[in-house]
Structure 1
Amino acid sequence: MLEIDGSFGEGGGALVRISTALAALTSTPIKIYNIRANRPKKGLSYQHLTAIKALAKITEAKLEGAEIGSTEIKFTPQKIKGGNFYFDVKTAGSIGLVLQALMIPAAFAEDKTTFKIRGGTDVKWSPPINYLENVTLPLLEKMGYKGKIKLLKRGYYPKGGGIIEARIQPIKRLKPIKLTKTRIKSIKGISHAGRLPLHVAERQARAAQKILQENGLDAEIRIEHSNDTLSPGSGIILWAEGNTRIGASSLGEKGKPAEIVGKEAAEELIRFLEEGAPIDKYMGDQIIPYMSIAGKSIIKTVEFSMHAYTNIHVTEKITGKKFKVKGDLGKPATIECP
C-alpha cells in the first residue's frame, strides 16, 4: 500500500482529493496520514469526506478512516464504473472541489457518468462552478476530454443547497497539451446575486467593466439574479478566451461593496494577462494530473503555486511520471511532463 504524507507542501484537502482521484484512476491502494495536520482544524471536513466517499463509490473501493476529523485514511479502489450518481456535501462545502476529484477517473470509466452534486457552488477558497464550466473544461477539451456541467441552482455560504449536474463521456486516452503562448480574442463573464437586490449583480459587473476598459479591454458580462437560493450571496467570474482560457473571480461578503467585488475580479484577470502566460494560477495546479495521464505536455503558468508543487509531488508518487519545472514558487513558470 502506497503511503502519502498528508502534511506535505500545501498540506490541505487538495492533496487528499488528488491522491485519492489518481489512486482511483490507477487502481492503487493508498494510505494518507497526517491529513491537514498543520491546519487549525485538523483532519477531514465535509467536502473532503464527500469527495473521498464519491471516489470510493465510483470505484467500489474499500475505505477505512473516512469520518469527520479523521487524520488517516486507507483507500483501496477497484475498477472505475460509470452510471448515475448523487452526492450531497451537506454543508456549503465546495461542489467544485468534489467535482474536480471525480473528473479525473470518471473520464476513463467504461460507460458515461452523470454526477448530481449538492452543496456550495460559489464559496471561499474553491473554484466557482462557472470556472470549471468556462475555464477548466474548455482547456481539458483541448486534450480530448469530454464533459459538460450544468448549474441547476446556486449555493452560497452558510447554507449551501446549490445543485449541479455534470456529464462525463468515457475516453480511451488524453492528448498531450502544449500551451506556452497567449492569444486572447475576447473577455466574458457572469455576475450573479441570490436573495439580494438585482442591482448588486449589476454593480459588480459595471465595476469590473470600468477597470477592464481603463486597461483597454472590453468584456461581455452576463447578469444572473435569483431569489431561489438558501442563503443570500453574490459573486463574479471573468474569463479571457482565445487559444486558451484564463479565469479570475471574486465573491461578495457581508459589508463588502459590490464595486469591490467587481474590481477584485477585474484586477486579478488583468494581472494574469499582463504576465503573458496562457494558464492562470488555478488551472496551473488543476491540470497537473491530466498532464501526467497524457504525457509529452508542457504549459506556462502565470504562477507556480504551492498547490501545483504539491500536486506534482503526489502525481509523481502515484503515477511514476516525472515533471520538470522552470521557475520559482509564486512566480511564472514552465511545467513539463515529458
Structure 2
Amino acid sequence: MDSAAVEIDGSVMEGGGQILRVSAALSCITGSAIKIIKIRAGRSTPGLRPQHLTGLQLLSDLCSGSLQGASIGSTDISLTPGKVRSGNHTADTQTAGSVCLLLQAALPCALYADAASQLLLKGGTNAEMAPQIDYTVKVFKPVVEKFGVHFDCDIRMRGYYPKGGGEVVVTAQPLKELQPVSMTDRGNITKIHGRAFVAGVLPFKLAKDMSAAAVRTIRKEIKELYINIQAVQEKEKAYGNGNGIISSLIGPGEAAAAVRMMMIVMMSLTLLPPPQLIIFMALAKGTSRIRTGAVTLHTQTAIHIAEQLTQAKFTITKSEDELSSGVTYIIECQGSGVVNPNL
C-alpha cells in the first residue's frame, strides 16, 4: 500500500457501512489512495458483509483501481484508484443487500467518467435499513438533479428479503463539475402521492388495507389535501414476497420531501435526509445550503469523512422553522469544486 494513503478509521462516530461508501467513492473521484481500518467496528457483526464487499468491488472497477484485503469479514482494506472509466459495470450482492446503497456509492464516481456509464445492480430493491428504490427514483433523483446530475433508473425486477433477486439498471451521464444548491425553503404541501404494494404470495387485500389506513392517518392531520395512495400487486417484475408503503409529499418549494408513512404525520420532517447529499455538497463548486431536521450521527459521520478527503468545509446552524413548532438546522458547505479531468 502506498505510504501516502489516507488512513480512514472505520470505527469513528456511527462506525458503519457509510464510512466505506463515502470514503471509497471520494477516493475514486479525487484519486487519493486510502486505507480503511476497523471496518464497521460499531456493528454487531464487524467487517465487510456481502453488500459492502460488492460495493467496494464495483467502485474499484469504476476507477480501474487496485483493491487489497477485501473479503467477507475483512476489517482492513486498501484502495488505490486509477482513472474513472465509463462503460458497463455490474454489481451483484447475491443477497438482499440494497441496490440503492450500491447506487449511492457508485453514482458520484460515474459522474467523473469520460462518457456515459451503465450500472447493472442486483440485490434488494426494497430492503429494511436502507432507502427504497421508489424513494431513490421519486425523491433522491430530482434532488440530485439540482446539482447538475443526470441519470436514468430502470427497475427491471424488484427483490425482497431474504433472497433479493432485484435488478436495476442505472445510466449516468458525466459532468464537468457539480453545481451548488440552495434548498432551505420547504414550501407548502399541495399533494400526497404513494403506493402500497404487495408481491409474491401476499394478498392484494393487504395492499388495499394499507392504502386505506394511510389515507385515514393523513386525514387526521391534514383535512384538505389531494391524497392518492395507490394499491399495487406486483407480479411479473417481482422476486420473492414483500410488502410496503411509500409516500411522497409534493409542494412548490425548492425540494419535495418524502418520508415513510409512519413519519408523514410528524410534519416537522423537512427536505431530504442529508447523509445522501453530503458527498455532492462536498464536491460541488461553490456554497450549498440545505435545511434539515435533527442532524443525525449518520450525517455527522458523512461530513467528517468528506472533510477528511476533500477541501470542503461544513458548518451547521440552528434555525427556527416558521412552518412547524420544531427546530431545524441549516447545513452549509463550501464545496471543494472537484473538476472532471476526463472531459
Please, which runs of 5 or more residues in structure 2 have no aligned partner?
320-325, 335-343
* 1:292 and 2:282 are equivalent in the alignment: yes
Partner of 2:48 in structure 1? 44
> How far apart are residue 130 of structure 1 and its match?
0.8
> How far apart are residue 293 of structure 1 and its match?
1.2
* 1:274 and 2:268 are equivalent in the alignment: yes
Partner of 1:202 in structure 2? 208
* 1:248 and 2:259 are equivalent in the alignment: yes
Partner of 2:323 in structure 1? none
Deviations 1:149-205 (A, max 9, x none): 121111110111011111111111121111111113322112211111111222211
Partner of 1:333 in structure 2? 329
Of 56-65 and 216-225, the range deviating more from structure 2: 216-225
> How far apart are residue 50 of structure 1 and its match?
0.9
Give the match's secondary structure for 1:238: strand
* 1:220 and 2:220 are equivalent in the alignment: no
Partner of 1:233 in structure 2? 242
Q: Higher helix proportion, which one? A: 1
Given residue 70 of structure 1, which amino acid in structure 2 is its aligned partner? S
Of 223-232 and 46-55, the range deviating more from structure 2: 223-232
Judging changes above 3 Å, is the alpha-carbon distance between structure 1 residues 20 and 331 closer, same or farther for their aligned structure 2 residues?
A: farther
> How far apart are residue 237 of structure 1 and its match?
0.9
* 1:305 and 2:305 are equivalent in the alignment: no
Measure the CA separation in 2 of the matches of 1:116 and 1:219.
Answer: 34
Partner of 1:66 in structure 2? 70
Deviations 1:114-161 (A, max 9, x none): 111110011111000111111111001112110111211111101110
Measure the CA separation in 2 of the matches of 1:31 and 1:327.
Answer: 35
Partner of 1:119 in structure 2? 123
Say if 2:124 and 2:165, in contact at 8 Å, map to a contact too. Answer: yes
Give the match's secondary structure for 1:93: coil
Deviations 1:92-113 (A, max 9, x none): 0111101110011111211101
> How far apart are residue 213 of structure 1 and its match?
1.6
* 1:100 and 2:87 are equivalent in the alignment: no
TM normalised by structure 1 equals: 0.90
Given residue 202 of structure 1, which amino acid in structure 2 is its aligned partner? K
Measure the CA separation in 2 of the matches of 1:107 and 1:219.
Answer: 36
> How far apart are residue 315 of structure 1 and its match?
0.2
Of 114-123 and 201-210, the range deviating more from structure 2: 201-210
> How far apart are residue 86 of structure 1 and its match?
1.8
Say if 1:212 and 1:218, in contact at 8 Å, map to a contact too. Answer: no
Measure the CA separation in 2 of the matches of 1:10 and 1:233.
Answer: 29
CA root-mean-square deviation: 1.6
Of 69-78 and 174-183, the range deviating more from structure 2: 174-183
Measure the CA separation in 2 of the matches of 1:123 and 1:232.
Answer: 12
Deviations 1:297-319 (A, max 9, x none): 01111221111000000000001
Measure the CA separation in 2 of the matches of 1:73 and 1:143.
Answer: 31
Measure the CA separation in 1 of the matches of 2:113 and 2:301.
Answer: 26
Given residue 268 of structure 2, which amino acid in structure 1 is its aligned partner? E
Say if 1:135 and 1:245, in contact at 8 Å, map to a contact too. Answer: yes
> How far apart are residue 40 of structure 1 and its match?
1.4
Given residue 192 of structure 1, which amino acid in structure 2 is its aligned partner? F
TM normalised by structure 2 equals: 0.88
Given residue 175 of structure 2, which amino acid in structure 1 is its aligned partner? I
Given residue 203 of structure 2, which amino acid in structure 1 is its aligned partner? P
Instruction: Describe how 1:86-165 pairs up with structure 2 within 5 A.
Output: 86-165=90-169
Measure the CA separation in 1 of the matches of 2:16 and 2:192.
Answer: 32
Structure 1 residue runs of 4+, over 3 Å off? 227-230
1:189 to 194, 219, 239: 194
Measure the CA separation in 1 of the matches of 2:250 and 2:258.
Answer: 9
Q: Report the count of equivalent residues.
A: 316
Given residue 263 of structure 2, which amino acid in structure 1 is its aligned partner? E
Give the match's secondary structure for 1:323: strand
Measure the CA separation in 2 of the matches of 1:327 and 1:34.
Answer: 33
Percent identity between the two aligned chains: 36
Measure the CA separation in 2 of the matches of 1:13 and 1:318.
Answer: 17
